[in-house]
Amino acid sequence: MTRTCFVAGSPIAQSRSPMIHGHWIAERGLDATYQRIEAQTDVLPTLLARVRSGELLGGNLTKPLKEAALPALDTLTDDAAAMGAVNTVFVHQGKLTGANTDVPGFLAHLDETCPDWQRSVDQALVLGAGGAARAVVYGLLQRRIPRILIANRSGARAQALIDSFGGLTAGRQLCPAPWPVASSTLSSCQLVINTTSLGMVGQPALALAWPDSLDGTIVYDIVYVPLETDLLRQARRRGARTVDGLGMLLHQAAIAFGFWFGTTPQVTPELWAMVAADITGTTGS
């Protein structure tokens, strides 16, 4: 019997998840398919019922379904509970389960690109205060980064994100940083992560007051269309180690695949090159 997985949300036409999961399905010779489902919140109960019944093996959820799915689920992984949002659903031990793979996907890609990175990071700067920023901050807290600055155009939103972590900080410092970000702030951080949409195709570039040198600094942009944003170009010119956003997409997808099929695939250079070629050949997201 063919097993079916999906990505659901709106808009969904430009999702590259079918390409990624289709590659792993073919690689393993599985009798399975992965499809796009254009879906608003009104069809979510029916979609989740199909997962619960076994008609669908599981799937990925994107906007506007990631928070709307929570009341219909039986249980959440720790990451999903901390995020207050799910991007992966599946049945485990008879329970309809929601997971959020953004946190482990972010950390896995950073570990792969910059091994032992946390040993050299005393202070990190997170740009943005939305859902992606929450995943990144939670990941940094898991790795026990001593001090994390959050800069956002709305200072109130940055403070709200900080307050939402409450007792999860375990002695770590979460602090707001003024926007626009000062050159001295950038100089004081060993890790800088952009979680905003600035720099994405169709969006203005993220303008920062870069210091002359970023030697020893890691600059990570979760944007992956384009693969090399202006942020990464500017950072590389100043000597930073740069990390693009495509690897996070691939690693979080691998974790989701493991929930459905019981085996977590490798993110290979061949897969990265295949998806990168598709990105550079289009203007979609």
Share of the chain above pLDDT 70, in %: 97
- The CA-based angle 93-94-100, given to 5 degrees, is 70
C-alpha triplet 191, 83, 194: angle, nearest 5°:
30
Q: How far apart are the first and last CA of the chain?
A: 33
pLDDT digits (tens, 9 = 90+) for 80-93: 999 999 999 999 99
Question: What secondary structure letter does DSSP report for 198?
Answer: T
Fold of 104-244: Rossmann fold (3.40.50)
Q: Measured in whole angstroms, how far is the alpha carbon of residue 129 from the centre of its chain?
A: 13
4's tokens: 């079916």
Angle, alpha carbons 233-234-239 (nearest 5°): 95
Locate the domains of the chain by residue range. Answer: 3-100+252-280, 104-244
Q: Tens digit of pLDDT for each residue in 180-194?
A: 999 999 999 999 999
For 61, the token pair is 């959820």
The active-site residue, picked from 16, 21, 23, 66, is 66
Residue 66 catalytic? yes
What average pLDDT does the chain have?
Answer: 95
Give domain 3-100+252-280's CATH architecture: 3-Layer(aba) Sandwich (3.40)
Residue 145: CB atoms within 10 Å: 20
3-100+252-280 and 104-244, same CATH topology: yes
Q: What CA–CA distance (Å, rounded) separates 256 from 97?
A: 12
Q: Rounded distance, CA 39 to CA 62, Å?
A: 9
Average pLDDT over residues 255-267: 97
